[in-house]
């Protein structure tokens, strides 16, 4: 049978991995796919580097559109990243009747609705396993393996760069900037690393998972996004003393009759949970379904070959399914196009979670009682409390101390109002630190 002809746009960290793994495992891959998969042409901004990388094995083009125009090419693999040019190229490839494989979560979280609609109309596949949690087959699990379930919630460490930063800072005491540079060197970080550290990349991935889990449109614009740049070593330490680890989680939750929660933020996770022990650039996603209960997916979420593994799995799927009736394929967002629901993502004020609060207070009698009264009046109950000795906080003879409070669940709006009152107390001396907490049971 004629080999499946691929056009590879973007030959950076992931593109190079795809090229290498396809070459290395060619025989096994074609035994699985039923046809061999051949990279016919590649495009990269620096064509001299592209030539050096592929040798004579594939044609090298400066213009990525030359690949889309090539009638022999059946699949375009988009690995350049970004929102704009990638959108144009993907839509042009679809219009030309080509299947698309992409690792670009930014593109799908923002323009997914338009892209999947165009692909459905044209009867082509847009495959995107690499876009969420890199090499972990989480899209496959959500779309196919868990299809019997009403999915209740998903919580995951879905950004390798930030998990790597948090782990290295905690274990080796290294500075944020030093570890970020290392993550960039290792090929984990996005072209613009603020996407990683500000939580945007994780929010792109959580957005895609929420659409697949609940059969709703991608709603990145409504996601709540908070990164790790404000986290302090003090809070990481206090959290540990209370039996928790702080992880940047992407969370999406069904709230019956109300909507869907979609949020990314640093989160206290009980230290005994497997998720709390996921270290370095590893990713892990916990999915809770009503029938299956809690399931966990763990593996490399970033890096050249782990991500290539997912891209090539998609290429194999496309190769197997290219001649199939589009009606019989797994829908792009798991639910049939006509069965998608217009359920909205809830504003952050409506989110229900529990909290870690740290208050730097004057070490005086009565402070704790005033704090407790404000929380009780707001209907927020306290789960645990830690008060540091003043000496530990400000040195011998200090007149300041830290109150660390863990709350039970409360609506974020109620917590905002209570925090405002707490902050206004004369005995509260610094801005209150608040970090959300999830038990994930």
Ligand X SMILES: N[C@@H](CC=O)C(=O)O
**Catalytic residue list:** 205
Report, in Å, the least distance between residue 307 CB and Na ion: 8
User: Residues near 192 by Cβ (< 8 Å), separated by ≥ 6?
Assistant: none
Q: What is the C-alpha to C-alpha distance for residues 373 and 359, in angstroms, rounded to an integer? A: 15
Q: What is the C-alpha to C-alpha distance for residues 154 and 214, in angstroms, rounded to an integer? A: 11
Q: Which of 75, 179, 212, 310 binds Na ion (CB under 5 A)?
A: 310
Nearer to ligand NAI, 182 or 383 (CB): 182
Nearer to ligand NAI, 50 or 415 (CB): 50
| Cα–Cα nearest to 380, from 414, 431, 421 | 414
Site for ligand X in 173-192 (CB under 6 A): 188-190
Site for ligand X in 356-415 (CB under 6 A): none
Under rule CB under 6 A, residue 191 binds ligand NAI: yes
Residue whose entry in the numeric block shows the structure tokens 């379930």: 149
Cβ proximity of 208 and 99 under 8 Å? no
Under rule CB under 6 A, residue 331 binds ligand X: no
Binding flags for ligand NAI, 33-52, as an x/- string (CB under 6 A): ----------xxxx------
Site for ligand X in 123-162 (CB under 6 A): 134, 159-161
| Cα–Cα nearest to 437, from 273, 256, 283 | 273
Under rule CB under 6 A, residue 187 binds ligand NAI: yes
Q: How many residues does the chain have?
A: 441
Under rule CB under 6 A, residue 167 binds ligand X: no
Strand partners, 299: 283
> CB under 6 A: which stretch of 185-193, 258-266, 359-367, 371-379 binds ligand NAI?
185-193
Q: What is the C-alpha to C-alpha distance for residues 244 and 422, in angstroms, rounded to an integer? A: 24
Q: Which of 22, 58, 77, 79 binds ligand NAI (CB under 6 A)?
A: 79
Report, in Å, the least distance between residue 386 CB and ligand NAI: 38
Under rule CB under 6 A, residue 308 binds ligand X: no
- 253's contact among ligand NAI, ligand X, Na ion, none, with CB below 5 to 8 A by partner kind, is none
Under rule CB under 5 A, residue 103 binds Na ion: no
> Count residues contacting ligand NAI (CB under 6 A)?
27
- 7's contact among Na ion, ligand NAI, ligand X, none, with CB below 5 to 8 A by partner kind, is none
Under rule CB under 6 A, residue 15 binds ligand NAI: yes
Assigned token pair, 213? 């889990």
Largest CA distance in the chain: 83
Residue whose entry in the numeric block shows the structure tokens 């940047």: 248
Under rule CB under 6 A, residue 301 binds ligand X: yes
Q: Is residue 307 left, alpha or beta, with left meaning phi > 0 and alpha meaning psi from -120 to 50?
A: alpha
Report, in Å, the least distance between residue 248 CB and Na ion: 18
Report, in Å, the least distance between residue 61 CB and ligand NAI: 8
- 422's contact among ligand NAI, Na ion, ligand X, none, with CB below 5 to 8 A by partner kind, is none
The residues binding ligand X (CB under 6 A) are: 134, 159-161, 188-190, 196, 201, 301-302
Please report, as ranges, the residues that interact with ligand NAI according to CB under 6 A: 9-15, 43-46, 64, 79-81, 85, 103-104, 130, 134, 187-188, 190-191, 302-303, 307
């Amino acid at each position: 049978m004629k080999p499946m002809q691929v056009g590879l746009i973007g030959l950076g960290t992931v593109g190079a991995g795809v090229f290498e793994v396809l070459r290395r495992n060619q025989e096994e891959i074609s035994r699985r796919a039923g046809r061999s998969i051949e990279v016919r042409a590649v495009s990269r901004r620096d064509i001299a580097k592209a030539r050096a990388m592929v040798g004579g094995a594939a044609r090298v083009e400066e213009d990525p559109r030359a690949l889309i125009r090539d009638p022999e090419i059946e699949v375009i693999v988009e690995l350049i990243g970004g929102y704009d040019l990638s959108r144009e190229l993907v839509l042009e490839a679809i219009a030309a009747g080509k299947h698309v494989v992409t690792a670009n979560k930014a593109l799908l979280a923002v323009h997914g609705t338009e892209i999947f609609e165009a692909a459905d109309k044209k009867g082509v596949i847009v495959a995107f396993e690499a876009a969420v949690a890199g090499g972990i087959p989480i899209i496959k699990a959500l779309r196919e393996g868990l299809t019997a379930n009403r999915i209740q919630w998903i919580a995951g460490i879905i950004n390798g760069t930030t998990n790597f930063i948090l782990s290295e800072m905690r274990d080796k005491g290294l500075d944020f900037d030093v570890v970020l540079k290392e993550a960039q060197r290792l090929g984990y970080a996005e072209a613009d690393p603020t996407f990683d550290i500000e939580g945007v990349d994780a929010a792109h991935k959580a957005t895609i998972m929420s659409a697949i889990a609940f059969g709703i449109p991608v709603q990145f614009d409504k996601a709540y996004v908070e990164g790790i740049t404000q986290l302090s070593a003090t809070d990481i330490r206090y959290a540990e003393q209370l039996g928790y680890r702080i992880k940047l989680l992407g969370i999406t939750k069904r709230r019956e009759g109300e909507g869907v929660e979609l949020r990314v933020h640093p989160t206290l996770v009980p230290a005994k949970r497997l998720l709390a022990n996921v270290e370095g650039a590893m990713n892990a996603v916990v999915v809770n379904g009503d029938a299956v209960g809690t399931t966990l997916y763990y593996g490399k979420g970033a890096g050249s070959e782990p991500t290539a593994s997912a891209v090539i799995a998609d290429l194999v799927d496309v190769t197997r399914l290219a001649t199939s009736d589009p009606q019989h394929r797994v829908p792009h967002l798991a639910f049939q196009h006509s069965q998608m629901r217009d359920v909205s993502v809830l504003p952050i004020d409506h989110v229900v979670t529990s909290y870690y609060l740290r208050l730097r207070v004057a070490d005086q009698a009565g402070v704790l009682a005033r704090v407790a009264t404000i929380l009780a009046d707001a209907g927020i109950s306290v789960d645990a409390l830690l008060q540091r000795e003043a000496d530990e906080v400000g040195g011998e003879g200090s007149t300041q101390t830290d109150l660390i409070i863990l709350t039970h669940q409360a609506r974020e709006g109620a917590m905002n109002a209570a925090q405002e009152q707490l902050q206004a107390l004369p005995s509260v001396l610094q801005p209150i630190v608040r970090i959300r907490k999830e038990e994930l049971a």
